């Protein structure tokens, strides 16, 4: 099905929309792909009008951490029987020889569509470069260019099998950066020794310096309370003056550190403005696997990090891959999981959860002109629901998704009714139908 769309120069109005940070409803005027006016009422003859009917509008959702090269691979050549992280890595190693450019591009593009359908227009993907052919990297570099008009795709060169415990690891990482990866990755906790872990971090920063790239390291994704590479990430950030351009992903070991050490670590992370990406879907099922009871949650210290002023975003990490067999590309589901596993259900905390898939993700990706404001690109997601709490509770697909003023995804509202006796009533899962 294709929908006929008018030329971009035709004015467009999103009517009666609610902004998360402003009282009352607004109209948003869009021309030539830009937001040109936000006001209580806008009338333009012949404008195309989308009536939000009091629903919330948001800048695009952001997924700052996913592995698009691995999406939709679970089950072949063998499923992850135990569900553990280590078996996931083994199954992925079995899958890698079957990778082709077409296979990677087809799966990744399909997952991108799932993201877009959920209002996600900015995505940072880690791509496994522990591969002498760099097949997945090359496929995703070309996909990045193909989707550029609609979706911002950033690529992290990610050494899944380690830099120093994998043949030609350092050379492959550098080659990936040279070929055009946007961000340099690392995986220090996976190296065989602590010394190699430190060299892993150092090399990522060295390549970032030489090629002027940002850094995003898979860091301390373990329940081992002795895994302490995040302090080294902060230190390199300070020494290279890369404040604000460095991200540490997962950092689940922070959930196991003693409080005195965690306190010191959070202080230096705040000072160096290192961003953190939590991945609650994967980590709530992958961590704690060596525990009997009580079982750890395997989460980084989200609440304490945010309270210290550190940017904490949330990533989807996996969709139907050897590490996580579920998922649909819905970042609202990710945020909901974060609210649950990080104890963020307080009324003061739900907005932080929303930020983790919007503004915090945008900060991690260094997105410019992000937000619903006059003069910004018309990248707008329109929800049926009118509050953050309702969106997090109902986990819907948005009504409309606009990229640079172009409608690129839409979901008609679902209608559910319940009938008993002689009464049939629509069920909206809100309090609006209750009359006393
Ligand atoms: Fe990851």
Same domain, 139 and 284: yes
Expressed as residue numbers, the domain containing 246 is 61-365
Same domain, 138 and 82: yes
Q: Which of 330, 350, 365 is the last residue of a domain?
A: 365
66 C-alpha vs ligand 1 centroid, how far in Å? 6
pLDDT tens column, 11-32: 999 999 999 888 999 999 999 9
Closest CA to 227 of 197, 267, 202: 197
Same domain, 359 and 284: yes
SS3 404: coil
C-alpha span between 45 and 11 (Å, rounded) = 9
**Does 294 sit behind a cis peptide bond, omega within 30 degrees of 0 on the bond before it?**
yes
Same domain, 301 and 320: yes
Contact criterion met (CB below 8 Å) for 208 and 216:
no
Residue at 99 is within a domain: yes
Same domain, 146 and 211: yes
323 C-alpha vs ligand 1 centroid, how far in Å? 10
Residue at 85 is within a domain: yes
pLDDT of residue 2: 58
What does the pLDDT average to over 107-114?
A: 98
Give the CATH number for residue 50: 2.30.40.10
Among 174, 191, 221, 385, the active-site one is 221
Same domain, 47 and 67: no
Residue at 433 is within a domain: no
Residue at 5 is within a domain: no
Same domain, 349 and 398: no
- Cβ neighbours of residue 64 closer than 8 Å, sequence gap 6 or more: 122, 123, 124, 247, 277, 313, 314, 315, 360, 361, 364, 365
Same domain, 22 and 108: no
Q: Is 110 a catalytic residue?
A: no
Give the CATH number for residue 327: 3.20.20.140
Same domain, 148 and 175: yes
pTM of the model: 0.97
Q: Which of 347, 365, 383 is the last residue of a domain?
A: 365
267 C-alpha vs ligand 1 centroid, how far in Å? 24
The pLDDT-based confidence of 433 (bands split at 50, 70, 90) is: confident
47 C-alpha vs ligand 1 centroid, how far in Å? 44
pLDDT tens column, 230-251: 999 999 999 999 999 999 999 9
pLDDT tens column, 348-384: 999 999 999 999 999 999 999 999 999 999 999 999 9
Give the number of domains in the chain.
Answer: 2
pLDDT above 90: residue 9: no
Residue at 425 is within a domain: no
pLDDT above 80: residue 341: yes
Residue at 435 is within a domain: no
213 C-alpha vs ligand 1 centroid, how far in Å? 19
Q: Which of 349, 365, 381 is the last residue of a domain?
A: 365
Q: How many CA atoms lie within 13 A of 404 on its CB side?
A: 10
Q: What are 418's strand-pairing partners?
A: 425
Residue at 426 is within a domain: no
250 C-alpha vs ligand 1 centroid, how far in Å? 7
Same domain, 73 and 43: no
- Cβ neighbours of residue 248 closer than 8 Å, sequence gap 6 or more: 216, 217, 219, 220, 230, 233, 274, 275, 276, 277
pLDDT above 90: residue 217: yes
Same domain, 106 and 55: no
Same domain, 32 and 65: no
Share of the chain above pLDDT 90, in %: 95
What does the pLDDT average to over 256-282?
A: 98
Per the listing, tokens 């799966």 go with: 107
Residue at 428 is within a domain: no
C-alpha span between 1 and 364 (Å, rounded) = 35
The pLDDT-based confidence of 8 (bands split at 50, 70, 90) is: confident
277 C-alpha vs ligand 1 centroid, how far in Å? 9
Kindly give the pairing relationship between strand 312-314 and strand 275-278.
parallel
**DSSP string of 94-147?**
HHGGG--HHHHHHHHHHHHHHHHHTTEEEEEEEEE--STT-HHHHHHHHHHHHH
For residue 203, what are its two tokens?
């090399």
Cβ neighbour number for residue 374 with a 10 Å cutoff: 12
pLDDT of residue 3: 61
**Does 223 sit behind a cis peptide bond, omega within 30 degrees of 0 on the bond before it?**
no
């Amino acid at each position: 099905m294709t929908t006929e769309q008018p030329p971009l120069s035709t004015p467009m109005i999103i009517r009666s929309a609610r902004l998360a940070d402003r009282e009352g409803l607004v109209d948003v005027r869009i021309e030539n792909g830009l937001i040109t006016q936000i006001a209580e009422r806008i009338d333009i003859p012949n404008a195309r009008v989308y009536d939000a009917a009091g629903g919330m509008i948001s800048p695009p959702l952001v997924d700052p951490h996913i592995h698009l090269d691995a999406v939709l691979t679970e089950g072949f050549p063998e499923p992850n029987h135990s569900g553990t992280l280590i078996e996931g890595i083994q199954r992925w190693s079995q899958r890698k020889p079957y990778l082709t450019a077409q296979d990677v591009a087809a799966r990744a593009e399909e997952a991108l569509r799932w993201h877009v359908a959920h209002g996600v227009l900015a995505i940072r993907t880690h791509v496994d470069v522990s591969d002498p052919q760099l097949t997945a990297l090359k496929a995703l570099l070309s996909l990045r260019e193909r989707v550029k008009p609609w979706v911002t795709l950033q690529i992290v060169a990610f050494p899944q099998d380690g830099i120093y415990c994998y043949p030609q690891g350092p050379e492959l990482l550098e080659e990936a950066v040279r070929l055009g990866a946007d961000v340099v990755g690392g995986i220090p906790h996976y190296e065989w020794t602590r010394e190699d872990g430190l060299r892993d971090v150092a090399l990522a920063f060295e390549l970032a310096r030489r090629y002027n790239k940002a850094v995003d390291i898979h860091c301390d994704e373990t329940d081992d309370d002795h895994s302490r590479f995040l302090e080294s990430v902060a230190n390199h950030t300070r020494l290279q003056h890369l404040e604000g351009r460095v991200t540490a992903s997962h950092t689940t070991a922070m959930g196991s550190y003693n409080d005195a050490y965690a306190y010191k670590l959070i202080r230096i992370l705040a000072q160096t403005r290192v961003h953190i990406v939590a991945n609650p879907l994967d980590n709530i099922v992958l961590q704690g696997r060596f525990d009997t009871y009580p079982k750890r949650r395997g989460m980084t210290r989200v609440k304490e990090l945010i309270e210290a002023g550190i940017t904490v975003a949330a990533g989807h990490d996996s969709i139907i891959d050897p590490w996580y067999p579920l998922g649909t590309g819905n970042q609202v589901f990710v945020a909901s999981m974060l609210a649950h596993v990080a104890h963020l259900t307080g009324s003061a905390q739900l907005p932080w959860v929303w930020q983790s898939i919007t503004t915090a993700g945008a900060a991690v990706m260094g997105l410019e002109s992000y937000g619903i404001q006059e003069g910004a690109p018309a990248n707008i997601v329109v929800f049926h629901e009118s509050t953050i709490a309702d969106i997090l509770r109902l986990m819907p697909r948005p009504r409309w998704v606009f990229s640079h003023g172009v409608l690129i995804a839409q979901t008609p509202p679902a209608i559910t009714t319940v009938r008993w006796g002689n009464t049939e009533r629509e069920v909206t899962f809100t309090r609006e139908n209750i009359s006393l």
